[in-house]
Copies of this chain bind each other. A is one copy, B any other.
Amino acid sequence: MVKARKYVVKKIFEGLPKLEDFEIVEYELPVLKNGEILVKVEWVSVDPYMRAYNIRYPVPYDQFGYQVGVVEESKDPRYPVGTRVVSHKGWCDYVIIDTSDPDPVAGELYKLPDLKGYSDSFGIGAVGMPGATAYFGFLELCQPKAGETVVVTGAAGAVGSLVGQIAKIKGCKVIGFAGSDDKVKWLEEIGFDKAINYKNADAAAALKEAAPNGIDCFFDNVGGELSSDIMYQMNEFGRVAICGCISAYNIDRSKLPKATIVQLAILGKQLKVEGFHLWRWKSKIPEAYEQMIKWIKSGELKPLEQISKGFENVFDAFVGMLNGENFGKAVVKL
């Protein structure tokens, strides 16, 4: 018998999630049935949408999320023992997966793409959901052209740091907003033309100086007043992709924050503003993975990971990420 552990969400989060909102449940895994595989989890992802989606599900629920694991026992010949798989089975150390039962959010599990020798954790980062999110969200919705000016908020995050680098590859000028001087330094090291610490700058004035000719593309992970400031500096026919709204996830939905209206900016400059979830491009995702690996191999894209260790530290990694402590992709090695 294999003993497994998993994080179960017991309560609807209020503000920042608390350790007491979770319960770590230890249980014995049943015997494998046909079509099932037993996976030993090696890498677990913590992402902002885990906070945002909390209100969608009745509690208690098993904490979902991407993970990379290795098949330890198999009753599906497509996934022999030793195969590495990516699934959305979340924060657990062992798990049985019915390979014919797709996840309601993420769809079917899949084999870890060939990462050409890079860390398997890239499969939940630059060559996983965050990578595909950056790739499609930015390229499809912002339609960047060489020479244009791109602004990214949450620029030091998993998705933002990739978007900025993709924008550089496409020949754009890139300005990033992040929440500490160390992040600003790192972003300028990996190629951002300018990074701004929104916590100690007049964001609108700093942006005006950094982008005197206005902004063509805006990839927003944050929302709120910063997002308004940026939209009022956009050029005619500018494109805005709304990928996240981390400034509001921790707020009671019925008491959403107020910020300077954006409608007059959208009207005045004929902006196109689109929100998106990755799943709309589901069938094309392998294309993103292939391109991301190429860019990593060529050295044009440098994914950074913030690695925590140990099953018991997944919660801390999650809250740290929500507090903006991570540089790049926050992952946990079990």
Give A residues with C-beta under 8 Å from B.
Answer: 220, 223-224, 227, 242-245, 248, 256-277, 280
Chain B residue with Cβ nearest A249: B264
Chain B nearest Cβ from A295, distance in angstroms:
26
Complex CA gap A245/B260 in Å reads 13
Q: Do A260 and B256 have beta carbons less than 8 Å apart?
A: yes
A272 touches B269 (CB 8 A): no
State which of B224, B265, B268, B280 has its C-beta within 8 Å of the C-beta of A270. B280
B266 touches A274 (CB 8 A): yes
Interface of A is mostly: mixed
A245: chain B residues at CB < 8 Å are 261, 263-264, 267
Instruction: Give every chain B residue within 8 A of A265 (Cβ-Cβ).
Output: 275
Tell me the complex Cα distance, A264–B250, Å: 12
Write 16 A-B pairs (CB below 8 A) sorted by A numbering: A223-B263, A223-B267, A227-B261, A245-B267, A256-B261, A257-B261, A258-B260, A268-B275, A269-B275, A270-B274, A270-B275, A271-B275, A272-B273, A272-B274, A273-B273, A273-B274
Not counting A242-B267, A245-B261, A245-B264, a sample of 4 additional A-B residue pairs whose C-beta atoms are within 8 angstroms of each other reads A224-B261, A248-B261, A270-B277, A273-B273
Chain B residues whose C-beta falls within 8 Å of the C-beta of A261 in the assembled complex: 223-224, 227, 245, 248, 256-259
Whole-angstrom distance between the Cβ of A224 and the nearest chain B Cβ:
6
Whether A266 lies near B242 (C-beta < 8 A) is: yes
Cβ A272 vs Cβ B272 within 8 A: yes
Given the complex, which residues of B lie within 8 Å of A260, measured CB to CB?
256-258
Contacts of A248 in B (CB 8 A): 261, 263-264
